[in-house]
Each structure stands twice: as structure tokens, then as C-alpha cells.
Amino acid sequence: MHTFLQIVEICDNFPYPDSSAEFSNVVPLTLNKTKIGILLPSTIDILREYNSRLDPAPLEISEKNVTFSAHITNFQERTEAMKQLFDTLRSEKKFAALEGWRNELYPVYGDINHPFNVAFVMERAATPILGIPTFGVHLNGYVKTPEGVIKMWIAKRASTKPTWPGKLDNTIAGGITYGFSINETIVKEAMEEANVSADISSTAVPTSAITYFTVTKFGLQPETQYIYDLEFPVDVRPKPLDDEVECFYLWDTDEVKKNLLEGNFKPNCALVVIDFFIRHSIITPDKEPDYIEILTRIHRRLEFPNPKMI
């Protein structure tokens, strides 16, 4: 059994500058002096070798900074440079992260001259290599009994999923792909993952967002999840539709809490549940000694540009 704070620390595991010198040698990826990503020194070595093969070279690489070369000036040129870079590194098998290639374009933010503050788009699987912040949406589906007691719809991930097979998940969740709004992402994922129609999923209400910074074997992942709550009608049940979800459980909050503290949730989904527990007075400051630290950790300041008007 873990504490709630330990569960948070499993996900928000990039060290804070005042607590550890580990990762103090990371280098920013910048665009017009704005930090849009963060790079491990080992990644820079690979980028430098790639860069040396091309004329003109697409990147300017120094000890303290990596950025696009001066001839790469706009959305299309940045997008094309990134496509060439990762198509090449993928074929050369330079990064384990690229073995999970998804053919899904993610926006990278930091150009206020482009709609939504998007600077370019790139393959989703490559984002941890450049420490690019990513954005998704997670939805807590729940029912309220006539007595006002909350039960939560919890998904169990399919045992065949490449990431976190068999772990518990929020009712509906997904990354926000380029071109989709938050609301469109919810409606799409609700149908694909849980067979929930748009007239139900569109009643979800935004209640929060969480931010955290995860280090994985694939790289650096500063992540933001917009959080929505959806009170399900009692006669509507989420049902697996694609092969992402094995089944859905309708659990009282004690059962959810037990599974959460046993580490049975996918780590970032656990944070979404903890945020729900705090907002719904299931985790309370008179009982939880780490209440404040949990709240600040799940709202970590990430120092990167955010989307403008998704």
C-alpha cells in the first residue's frame, strides 16, 4: 500500500531543482527564445550527428541551447524538418520511443502568430525525445445514488495494450490530436472507448486540469490533462467498443481508493482520481497529512507555452 503522495510521486517523478541535482544537465529546445521542449544530453549527441549530415543543417546546437536554424521560419518548415528528422531516426532505430510510432500528429505550442499558439506538429511517439509538453483530456464518469453517494465508472485497460496493459483507467481519456478541440476529443473518445453517445458525453463539465512531469524510458514527458466530470444517467453504462478497454467497473469510492493505493491505476489516471477525490471531499485536509503537497504536485508549473483558446 502506498500513500496518496507516493502515488503522485510515481507520476510526477522529474526532480524539482531544489530537491535533486539529477537531470540538471538538460538543455532547452527553444523557439524565438521561448522554451518549447527539454533535451537530455544523450539526445543532443544524436541530434548533432544527424545535423552534421545535412546542408543546410536544420538545427542550431550549442552547449546551452537547441533551436531551429535561421532558414526554418514557419509552421510548415518546422513541421517538415521534424518529419525528416524523426523519419530518419526511426528508420535508423535510434530511439526506443519511435518503436511505438502512432501516425498521430501532436501540436507543439509556442508561436503566437499561428492559431492556438501552435508552432509546428510532430509525431506523437517522438514527443518524449524532445521533452515536448503534451495535452490530453480525462473524464471521470460517476453516478450518484438517491442518497447522494458517489460511485465511479473505472475502466480496465485491455491486456493487449502496448502501454500499461491491465491497469485501471479513467472512464474516458485521450490525447488531444492536432485539429481537435477538447470537446471534440471527449465526444470522439467517449464513442470509441466507451460506446457513450454524444448526447451523453456532451453533458460533461470541465472542473480542473492536472499538470505533472514524468520521466520514462522513452524520455521526458511534461503533461497536462484537462479534467471533466460526467454524471451518468443510471440507465447508461459505458461499454467496451474497440479493443482498448477490457471492461468497466462501477465502484464506490472506498473500492476506488483501495485500488488506487495498491498501485492498480495507470499512474497519470491515478492523479485524475486524486483530483476528483479532493474536489468531492473524499480526500480532506483534516485527515490527509500531505494535502497541500499533493495539490501543488498535481498542478506543477511546467514553464512551457500552453495552448491559447483550444
Residues near its own copies, by CB under 8 A: 16, 18, 181-183, 205-209, 211, 224, 226, 278-281, 284-287, 289-293, 295-303, 306-310
Facing residues of 211 across strands?
224, 299
Pick 166 or 285: Cβ nearer its own copies: 285
Taking the complex as a whole, the smallest distance from the CB of residue 275 to its own copies amounts, in Å, to: 10
Cβ contact 74:118 at 8 Å: no
Taking the complex as a whole, the smallest distance from the CB of residue 299 to its own copies amounts, in Å, to: 4
Q: Nearest 10 degrees: CA dihedral of 67, 33, 175, 183? A: -140
Pick 143 or 295: Cβ nearer its own copies: 295
Grid look-up 515536448 returns 132
Pick 57 or 302: Cβ nearer its own copies: 302
Taking the complex as a whole, the smallest distance from the CB of residue 305 to its own copies amounts, in Å, to: 10
Pick 79 or 185: Cβ nearer its own copies: 185
Taking the complex as a whole, the smallest distance from the CB of residue 46 to its own copies amounts, in Å, to: 27
Pairing of β 219-231 and β 134-144: parallel
In angstroms, the CA 61 to CA 78 distance is 16
Grid look-up 469510492 returns 253
In angstroms, the CA 129 to CA 262 distance is 30
Tell me how crowded residue 73 is: count the other CB atoms within 10 A of its CB: 10
Taking the complex as a whole, the smallest distance from the CB of residue 279 to its own copies amounts, in Å, to: 6
Taking the complex as a whole, the smallest distance from the CB of residue 153 to its own copies amounts, in Å, to: 19
- Of the candidates 300, 295, 256, the one whose C-alpha atom is nearest the C-alpha of residue 12 is 300
Pairing of β 34-39 and β 27-31: antiparallel
Helix axes 267-279, 4-11, angle to 10 degrees: 140
- Of the candidates 214, 191, 215, the one whose C-alpha atom is nearest the C-alpha of residue 202 is 191
Give me 298's grid cell.
Answer: 498535481
Pick 8 or 125: Cβ nearer its own copies: 8
Bond before 56 cis per omega within 30 degrees: yes
Pick 69 or 181: Cβ nearer its own copies: 181
Pick 27 or 47: Cβ nearer its own copies: 27
Taking the complex as a whole, the smallest distance from the CB of residue 40 to its own copies amounts, in Å, to: 19
